Chain A
Amino acid sequence: MAREVLLPHTIDGLWEIIRSEPGARLYAGGTDLLVKLRPQAHLPSSSPGTLVCLDRIEELKGIHEEDGLVCIRACTTHSEIMRDPVIRRHFPVLTKALRLLGSPQVRNMGTIGGNICTASPAGDTLTPLYALGASVETRSCDSGRLMPLKSFILGPGKAALQEGEILYGIWITKDLDFNIHHFEKVGQRKALAIAIASMAALIKLSDEGVIEKIRLAWGSVAPTVLSSQTIEDALTGKPLTEDALRDVMPLVMDAVSPINDVRASAGYRRRVTANLLLRLLQYRNAGFEGLRIQEKIRSTNF
């Protein structure tokens, strides 16, 4: 697969390697890269000279709070994020999505930074992070950038990492003031399945059941995660009822641009994406406290 495999223990060690081996391929969990690099009989071998595993760099791991924001360092594993009480309290939509990502073993190895940099249209962390309005911080040996996640994902498989840069952390604002955090993923299985369509939704629902604020994001139905100000505006101020949701379903079907592939047809994805809105009806009957109880995340650690 590669001539050498390096495991720097510090970020300075990493910059040294990047400087001396600019062609080196970086990975953290390896659940995407190591699958891609498997030698395959019908494909020419494209082995990089050097692989660099980021797993030992402590500075690239962990979750902390700072000035009303939460920062998740890029090499934090999905399992660690899923179990984190700060994430559960403030961003349950992310916790919900992570529980459906891959499998327990994949979650123990895969990292949020890897999922973002792989930039699959079906990336399970991307949909909730778009809804949460997350930003990403990149760093190189002598500089850093901060940008909205939306600007970082350029297209299928393309992230805006420059030469010599790594993804350093993901920043999310706390106190977003939504009381409904919803995520659903449609796939051929309940685990170890790529999303055919997914939806993240954040709603602030008034006591009278009116949508005061809403953010929606859909995955796997466009080159990158899709969000639509038009659809969000159409639902703002409306009661959370079947009629109100059905009224915007045609807008959803228009907004998405799904593909046909072995897993599903474009037509199926289009219809399912619109139908996913109807799942929001499960939240309408409970008052605020009821919503908290309904969304109680099981405390088991998988």
Chain B
Amino acid sequence: MKISFVLNGKKRTADVQPDMRVVDLLREHLHLTGTKEGCGSGECGACTILVDGESRLSCLMLAAQLEGKRITTIEGLSKGKRLHPVQEAFVESGAVQCGFCTPGMVMTAVDMLSRNPDPSRDEIREGISGNLCRCTGYQKIVDAIEAAAKDKSR
């Protein structure tokens, strides 16, 4: 099945099995391995991408559902060598240890900040409640998102 969609700002077409999961399409077919699979059942958030700007779980989407959509993956955030402000904040705040949860966390944070540019720490915690991290204990991730929010508002 041929599908057409916009990926990280560029028009793409793909010829895939319609029931291929989007996380597999991204990783195996398009070799964009920034998006991770942690559970395959929607419970960890590592596969989070943006679909028309909204955070969704790519392990629970089928390729056919991409038709006509605008997708953003972690690879689409940086511009050349310039990191997205949220990525920059994660780096500066030491919010990355093994890095496996990080792409999903960053995508979720980008969606969150686009809706609520000035969240409290509690709101940040609620906002990342769909993303699990086994390394950091979340504190620095919350710091990073808080810093990114302050940075954008300058």
A256 to B6, CA, bound (A): 51
Q: How far is the CB of A155 from chain B (nearest CB, A)?
A: 24
**For the side of the interface on A, what is the size category?**
20 to 34
User: A30-B60, A30-B61, A301-B115 are contacts. A105–B40 as well, Cβ < 8 Å?
Assistant: no
User: A103-B45, A104-B55 are contacts. A192–B130 as well, Cβ < 8 Å?
Assistant: yes
Q: How far is the CB of B112 from chain A (nearest CB, A)?
A: 7
B153 within 8 A of partner (CB)? no
Q: How far is the CB of B76 from chain A (nearest CB, A)?
A: 17
Closest chain B residue, CB of each to CB of A106: B42
Per-residue B-contact encoding for A217-244, CB less than 8 Å = 1, 0 else: 0000000000000000000000000000
Knowing that A5-B19, A302-B112 are A-B contacts, what are 14 other residue pairs whose CB atoms are under 8 Å apart, sorted by A's residue number?
A: A1-B62, A2-B18, A2-B19, A6-B64, A7-B65, A35-B60, A51-B19, A104-B111, A104-B126, A105-B45, A105-B55, A109-B56, A300-B123, A302-B126
B73 within 8 A of partner (CB)? no
Residues of chain A contacted by B18 (CB below 8 angstroms): 2, 4-5
Name the residue among B42, B45, B116, B126 with the largest chain A CB count within 10 angstroms.
Answer: B42
Residues of chain A contacted by B60 (CB below 8 angstroms): 29-31, 34-35, 109
A298 within 8 A of partner (CB)? yes
A51 to B41, CA, bound (A): 18
Residues of chain B contacted by A263 (CB below 8 angstroms): none
CB-contact partner of A31 in B42, B45, B112, B126, under 8 A: B42
Does the CB pair A38–B41 fall under 8 Å? Answer: yes
Does the CB pair A300–B115 fall under 8 Å? Answer: yes
Please name the 8 residue pairs, one residue from A and one from B, whose CB atoms are nearest each other, closest first: A103-B130, A191-B129, A5-B64, A5-B18, A1-B19, A2-B19, A105-B130, A301-B115
Does the CB pair B116–A53 fall under 8 Å? Answer: no
A38 to B23, CA, bound (A): 13
A51 to B57, CA, bound (A): 18
Closest chain B residue, CB of each to CB of A7: B64
B72 within 8 A of partner (CB)? no
Closest chain B residue, CB of each to CB of A55: B65
User: A2-B19, A190-B129 are contacts. A105–B65 as well, Cβ < 8 Å?
Assistant: no
Per-residue A-contact encoding for B116-154, CB less than 8 Å = 1, 0 else: 100100010011011110000000000000000000000
Does the CB pair B130–A102 fall under 8 Å? Answer: yes
Per-residue B-contact encoding for A36-56, CB less than 8 Å = 1, 0 else: 001000000000000101010
10 A–B pairs (Cβ distance < 8 Å), ordered by A = A30-B62, A34-B21, A34-B60, A35-B41, A79-B54, A104-B126, A105-B42, A106-B57, A300-B126, A301-B116
Residues of chain A contacted by B67 (CB below 8 angstroms): 7
Residues of chain A contacted by B123 (CB below 8 angstroms): 298, 300, 302
A51 to B43, CA, bound (A): 23
A51 to B19, CA, bound (A): 9
A190 to B125, CA, bound (A): 11
A4 to B64, CA, bound (A): 9
B108 within 8 A of partner (CB)? yes
A34 to B42, CA, bound (A): 10
Closest chain B residue, CB of each to CB of A107: B130
Residues of chain A contacted by B65 (CB below 8 angstroms): 5, 7, 30, 53, 55
A108 within 8 A of partner (CB)? yes
Closest chain A residue, CB of each to CB of B54: A108
Does the CB pair A300–B119 fall under 8 Å? Answer: yes
B102 within 8 A of partner (CB)? no
